[in-house]
Amino acid sequence: MLVKVCGIQTVHAAKVAVEAGADFIGFVFADSKRKISPKDAALIGSHLPPSVKKVGVFVNETKEVMEQIAEEVNLDYIQLHGDEPASLARELSSPVIKAFSVGGSNAEEMKDYPCDYYLLDSPVGKYHGGNGKTFDWRIIEELTFKPSKFILAGGLTPENVGQAIQVANPLGVDVSSGVETLGEKNSKKIQEFIINAKRKEAIK
């Protein structure tokens, strides 16, 4: 089970996630309480082993800005978390993760979208993603197009990630607010989340 810990803002949180077994570390470059500067993200990234992939999260950003930040931070993936058209994804030089809100009529758009991973998230709130709200994971089974390589997001916590995996059967899971206390990443929660996501009993 792949695990992505998103909204990382400190070297300490990144190291805790890596030592616990995280596969992806996410940096948010869009408007968010977890937004980070490219300079700080690059510093954190310099402490990560090559096996842990760095993901930059963008919302309706220009190709030029995304490419510039991807180069500065040495990103492995660009995550498009807004209303970006497929044509933009095709132009990017980095591999793409595309977020889709589950419950909308976007199955056909998903089917033709050029990306390495689909990130299935809860409906949009104040921000695109990172709202800490779950959705009915059974909805994924009802999609007319169900991607084989998808990462489940939206309100996941150490307590519910095992159940989410059993119901949705994703390739990976994504967490941000679910491993925080008072808006800050919590080391114990990060460790518990990754352990619970990767344990064999949680995998269908």
> How far, in whole angstroms, is CA 71 from its chain's centroid?
19
For residue 191, pLDDT beyond 50? yes
What is the pTM for the complete model shown?
Answer: 0.92
Asked if 6 is an active-site residue, the reply is yes
For residue 129, pLDDT beyond 70? no
Asked if 83 is an active-site residue, the reply is no
Nearest CA among 179, 175, 188 for reference residue 1:
175
Q: What is the average per-residue pLDDT within 74-79?
A: 98
CA distance 13 to 28: 14
**Sorting pLDDT into bands at 50, 70 and 90, what band is 140?**
confident
Enumerate domains of the chain plus CATH numbers.
Answer: 2-202 (3.20.20.70)
| Other C-beta atoms lying within 10 Å of the C-beta of residue 183 | 9
Torsion sign, CA atoms 111, 113, 119, 121: negative
Give the active site residue among 23, 121, 136, 174: 121
Q: What is the average per-residue pLDDT within 110-128?
A: 80
Give the active site residue among 6, 76, 115, 174: 6
